[in-house]
């Protein structure tokens, strides 16, 4: 049935009848397609009337002109399923989404062209936005409520007032959406202060706010900006995305319920961000420039990457289980809407615990020529973007001639983000972006090969630093001299040049050589098989490993890192068969075997304090 959402003063009407938005975020791209239905059912049973979702440009167009809308990225199928469940859809197709995703969901290839100025009304950027939006519109415009579908409103950009003040850009994106067929109401989401509203929206577009709970004065500020329109919290945070090395920021069920009640009592309709937690599979997680959620007072801002888990302490957990917070929040909504409260219990089944040992192993360096996407020679270092590489690793190698017996100290200028360093194949240290490190060595008389393996830990996804988030070694490498008598570092600004550079997105690791060769603190691969009950979830931990990636049946689950707080990776049941393969890339190999455990429960809270410096001690 075709119907239009109408804004009449403080009220909403859908198909001529009063309509109330009680909503929550669920991101289809953070789940396997087979996991959508049970999560949408939990949303419907909670009493929600809508589901809100972002649309990730970087996943739908990973390379310029290469579009993907299949399998877990089938946006239209997700929207139809939500509609079949009786849920309306608030769609956020804006070019930028944040969502703690790499570059906030913008595709990396925008950074390849230095002329492009992202997130503003600049012609080069807007040309790409237009071409993507035109293609994307074909997926969702037929599903607008005015065409008989469940989409009742469409967002324009996201939290733009926290990035810039080019309001002509907001109007340009809105005009573009209208041109491609969007005829339902549009809305923007911004912070609650007047600066955020004036910089991030325009009065003619319905505006909502993003908050933990509605603060004093926010209602009046919003009304001053947009006049007599419905009050909407586009994102009410019941938890926050977790960062590697920090304490998991959680909110008690009672605290979340009190915040929800406060927002409703102030007259706001509320969308939970997130309602369903999810997963940053593969290399998709982003990063922040700031501090840990529970950092020490006056801590310095620095680069802090987000975890693989996107559980975010949501009412429905990463694995799709309703939490106690779910039930406490449901009580508040039922009271608000005059609906009888029922506590429906849901059975969650996971695999029985088991252990396996992976005995197939092989050196990364023995396989690098076979698994690299490309190898280039360059007088100076090149970035990921210059190599047309989105994610993963890049290996930089050069030969150092002997000149004298001085101790050298390695300096990597513009390291983005983390590097393990080797001399003649032996590990000599780890360097990390914007942290101090001290990697020293002497060059033997026969000379030595210097190898620097750089990992992209996720592009910054929020704020001004997004504009320069190139990865790899963005500047140069040089060797300082350590005085033999003083021990002081004397800066030498001569460049190290003539690099062999290996592009390693690790999309295909089928050509790894498993020869049993694992050296102390050297990168390596492990491989094995295991049995499972098909279609049933589990949680995996590499017990004796430190940092790396895990693939199951060829699918990249994401990063593990022993600094926590995430100890285990969620393995969706949709990925598992009776017979399964597991492959691991580990940065600090020590043994010729990997000990793997599968658990029935998640583990996301193994830290009680924060790691101030995420650089391992010299091993």
Please list the active-site residues. 159, 235
Q: What is the DSSP letter of 479?
A: E
- The SS3 assignment for 83 reads helix
Question: Could you give the angle at the alpha carbon of 360 between the alpha carbons of 359 and 363, nearest 5°?
Answer: 120
**Longest CA pairwise span in the chain (Å):** 85
Question: Could you tell me if 393 and 504 are in contact, meaning their C-beta atoms sit under 8 angstroms apart?
Answer: yes
Residue 519 Cα to chain centre, angstroms: 32
Question: Residues 6 or more apart from 499 whose CB is under 8 A from it?
Answer: 377, 378, 379, 380, 381, 382, 396, 397, 398
- Encoded tokens for 558: 């994401």
Please state, in angstroms and rounded to a whole number, the distance separating the CA atoms of residues 190 and 170.
Answer: 12
Nearest to 29 by CA among 113, 83, 93: 93
Is the bond leading into 261 cis (omega within 30 degrees of zero)? no
- Encoded tokens for 456: 């992209």
- The burial of 418, by beta-carbon neighbours within 10 Å (0-12 exposed, 13-18 middle, 19 or more buried), is given as buried
Treating both helix axes as pointing N-terminal to C-terminal, what angle do 253-265 and 324-337 enclose, rounded to 10 degrees?
A: 20
Q: How far is CA 180 from CA 7, 43, 138, 224, 362, in A?
A: 22, 30, 9, 31, 52
Please state, in angstroms and rounded to a whole number, the distance separating the CA atoms of residues 193 and 117.
Answer: 26
Please state, in angstroms and rounded to a whole number, the distance separating the CA atoms of residues 28 and 279.
Answer: 10
Question: Could you tell me if 272 and 312 are in contact, meaning their C-beta atoms sit under 8 angstroms apart?
Answer: no
Nearest to 140 by CA among 130, 131, 152, 129: 152
H/E element, 527: strand 522-531
In degrees rounded to 5, what are phi and psi of residue 288?
Answer: -120, 155
Q: How far is CA 315 from CA 208, 212, 236, 255, 470, in A?
A: 22, 14, 12, 13, 35
Q: What is the DSSP letter of 82?
A: H
User: Across the beta sheet with 547-552, what order do the strands follow?
Assistant: 360-363, 522-531, 579-589, 547-552, 555-561
Q: What are the beta bridge partners of residue 464?
A: none
Please state, in angstroms and rounded to a whole number, the distance separating the CA atoms of residues 558 and 549.
Answer: 6
């Amino acid at each position: 049935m075709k119907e239009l959402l109408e804004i009449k003063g403080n009220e909403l009407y859908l198909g001529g009848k009063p309509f109330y938005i009680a909503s929550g975020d669920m991101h289809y791209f953070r789940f396997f397609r087979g996991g959508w239905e049970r999560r949408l059912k939990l949303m419907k049973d909670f009493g929600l009337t809508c589901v809100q979702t972002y649309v990730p440009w970087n996943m739908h167009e990973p390379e310029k002109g290469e579009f993907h809308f299949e399998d877990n990225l089938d946006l239209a199928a997700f929207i139809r399923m939500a509609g079949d469940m009786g849920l309306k859809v608030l769609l956020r197709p804006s070019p930028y989404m944040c969502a703690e995703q790499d570059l906030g969901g913008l595709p990396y290839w925008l950074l390849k062209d230095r002329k492009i100025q992202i997130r503003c009304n600049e012609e080069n950027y807007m040309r790409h936005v237009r071409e993507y939006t035109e293609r994307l519109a074909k997926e969702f415009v037929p599903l607008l409520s005015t065409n008989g579908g469940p989409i009742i409103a469409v967002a324009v950009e996201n939290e733009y007032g926290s990035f810039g003040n080019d309001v002509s850009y907001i109007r340009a994106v809105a005009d573009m959406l209208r041109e491609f067929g969007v005829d339902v109401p549009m809305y923007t989401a911004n912070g609650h202060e007047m600066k955020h509203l004036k910089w991030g929206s325009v009065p003619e577009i319905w505006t909502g706010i993003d908050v933990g709970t509605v603060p004093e004065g926010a209602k009046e500020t919003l009304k001053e900006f947009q006049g007599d329109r419905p009050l909407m919290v586009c994102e009410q945070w019941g938890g926050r995305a977790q960062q590697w090395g920090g304490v998991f920021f959680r909110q008690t069920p009672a605290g979340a319920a009190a915040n929800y009640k406060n927002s409703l009592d102030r007259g706001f309709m509320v969308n939970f961000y997130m309602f369903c937690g999810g997963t940053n599979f593969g290399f998709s997680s982003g990063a922040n420039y700031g501090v840990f959620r529970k950092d020490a007072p006056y801590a310095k801002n620095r680069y802090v990457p987000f975890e693989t888990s996107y559980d975010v302490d949501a009412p429905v957990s990463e694995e799709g289980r309703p939490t106690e917070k779910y039930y406490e929040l449901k009580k508040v909504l039922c009271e608000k809407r005059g609906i009888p409260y029922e506590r429906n219990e849901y059975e969650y089944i996971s695999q029985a615990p088991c252990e396996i040992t992976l005995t197939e192993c092989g050196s990364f360096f023995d396989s690098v020529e076979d698994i690299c996407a490309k190898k280039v020679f360059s007088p100076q270092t090149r970035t990921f973007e210059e190599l047309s590489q989105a994610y993963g690793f890049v290996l930089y190698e050069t030969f150092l001639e002997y000149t004298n017996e001085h101790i050298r100290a390695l300096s990597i200028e513009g390291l983005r983000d983390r590097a393990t360093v080797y001399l003649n194949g032996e590990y000599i240290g780890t360097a990390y972006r914007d942290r101090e490190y001290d990697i020293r060595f002497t060059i033997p008389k026969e000379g030595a090969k210097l190898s620097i393996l750089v990992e992209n830990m996720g592009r910054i996804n929020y704020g001004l630093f997004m504009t320069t988030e190139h990865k790899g070694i963005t500047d140069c490498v040089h060797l300082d001299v350590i005085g033999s008598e003083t021990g002081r570092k004397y800066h030498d600004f001569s460049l190290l040049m003539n690099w062999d550079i290996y592009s390693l997105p690790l999309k295909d690791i089928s050509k790894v050589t498993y020869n049993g060769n694992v050296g102390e603190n050297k990168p390596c691969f492990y491989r094995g098989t295991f049995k499972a009950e098909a279609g049933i979830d589990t949680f995996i931990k590499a017990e004796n490993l430190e940092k790396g990636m895990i693939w199951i049946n060829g699918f990249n689950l994401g990063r593990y890192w022993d600094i926590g707080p995430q100890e285990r990776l969620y393995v969706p049941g949709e990925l598992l068969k009776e017979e399964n393969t597991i492959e691991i890339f580990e940065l600090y190999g020590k043994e010729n075997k990997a000990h793997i455990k599968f658990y029935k429960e998640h583990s996301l809270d193994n830290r009680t304090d924060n790691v101030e410096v995420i650089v391992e001690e010299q091993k």
